[in-house]
Amino acid sequence: MPVQFHNVCLEAFAYTLPDEVVTSEQIETRLAPLYTRLRLPEGRLELMSGIRERRFWPEGMPPSEKSVETAEKAIRVSGIQRRHIGALVHGSVCRDFLEPATACGVHHQLDLPGECLIYDVSNACLGILNGMVQVANMIELGQIRAGIVVGTEDSRSLVENTIERLNSDQSLTRNDIKRVVASLTIGSGSAAVLLCDRELSQTGNRVLGGVFRTNTGGCKLCQSIGMETLMETDSETLMREGIDVAKETFGEFLDAVDWSTAEINRTFCHQVGRAHRKLMLDVLKLDPAIDYSTLEFLGNTGSVALPITAALGIENGYVKKDDHIALLGIGSGINVVMLGVEWQRSLLEREMRPSESRGEKGPVRKIR
């Protein structure tokens, strides 16, 4: 389904990353009992996924704590006054409680207006993008002037519970572990996106519109198990069928934003793994040189993966004035959301050193 916007600007991306770095080598060291029993070669986790490392938040930290920090960054960078913020959407899989909405605590700590519409959106890896579409719709309709979409994903318990299960369950075979290996690629992070109307905007970064499509026949390809922090994924089928849906969606996306494939200057995609990235770009006939990747050092950070990647790419000078940016999200379920942005400027530029304003692909700053 296509959507088009005429009055919506993407004013700021913001992100926060954990300090603790966990390498794939460290995870394999902890999996020594499994590797020994099944005679698995060391290095297979990074070899299969392309993920060298991921990050963990401190144990027991509520997601709202970092969501507040990241949303504050977005507000500060944008210069938007809090009285203009009419919606707050918390879009990550991870949340503080089943109820109330995590957005409630984030709203309270941010001291946003009482008239602000607040709620959580949960849609696997697409919660942030779904929230962006909803906030953009409200801005386009004139219901609000500005809105924030924020989320924080915490991978520690999923990875650690998966390691414990793989080591303790002596019945698991090589074939069995294929359904849980994706859980070892998950990383932590926090991201926020601030949208506003054109009159408030200092950037002129227009969100032109986009398209979304679903194939819920794939709803069982990636599932959490009960209320435990465990997950099983048919990675190969999910990758293949997810990219099939993306291929169906891509032509509609180009029509919605009135671009050709050749007119896309930069892409930021959901970060899953090396094989997924290569196949998706091949199928959509997109040049890998225009795509920015963070999966190697952040892993799959769920709903915040795409906005963090965009934030880092923009911060490190990978986007320039008049670039056409495609935000391409694929999530389990299966769901696809694609949005097009016509870029003008980043408000971060005034805070960056001249040597960092343009650089080679990849992180210019050390983010350890």
Whether residue 49 is contained in a domain is answered as: no
Whether residue 17 is contained in a domain is answered as: no
- What is the C-alpha to C-alpha distance for residues 165 and 350, in angstroms, rounded to an integer? 48
What is the model's pLDDT at position 355? 33
pLDDT at 280 over 80: yes
pLDDT, one tens digit per residue, over 159-206 is: 999 999 999 999 999 988 888 888 999 999 999 999 999 999 999 999
Whether residue 99 is contained in a domain is answered as: no
Whether residue 235 is contained in a domain is answered as: yes
Which pTM value belongs to this model? 0.90
Assess whether 269 carries a catalytic annotation: no
Q: At 325, is the secondary structure helix, strand, or coil?
A: strand
pLDDT at 356 over 50: no
- Inter-residue contact 319 to 266 (CB < 8 Å): yes
Assess whether 125 carries a catalytic annotation: yes
pLDDT at 352 over 50: no
Q: Which residues contact 160 (CB under 8 A, 6 or more apart)?
A: none
**Cβ atoms < 10 Å from Cβ of 331:** 26
Of 171-180, 227-236, 239-248, 273-282, which range is least confident? 227-236
Whether residue 297 is contained in a domain is answered as: yes
Confidence of residue 243 (pLDDT cuts 50, 70, 90): confident
Q: What is the number of structural domains in the chain?
A: 1
What is the model's pLDDT at position 237? 72
Mean pLDDT of the chain: 90
- What is the C-alpha to C-alpha distance for residues 74 and 214, in angstroms, rounded to an integer? 30
What is the model's pLDDT at position 368? 31
Confidence of residue 148 (pLDDT cuts 50, 70, 90): very high
Domain that holds residue 248: 204-346
Mean local confidence (pLDDT), 268-272: 94
pLDDT at 135 over 50: yes
Whether residue 58 is contained in a domain is answered as: no
Whether residue 305 is contained in a domain is answered as: yes
Whether residue 221 is contained in a domain is answered as: yes
We report the CATH number of the domain holding residue 227 as 3.40.47.10
pLDDT at 221 over 60: no
Catalytic residue among 9, 94, 116, 125: 125
What is the model's pLDDT at position 181? 87
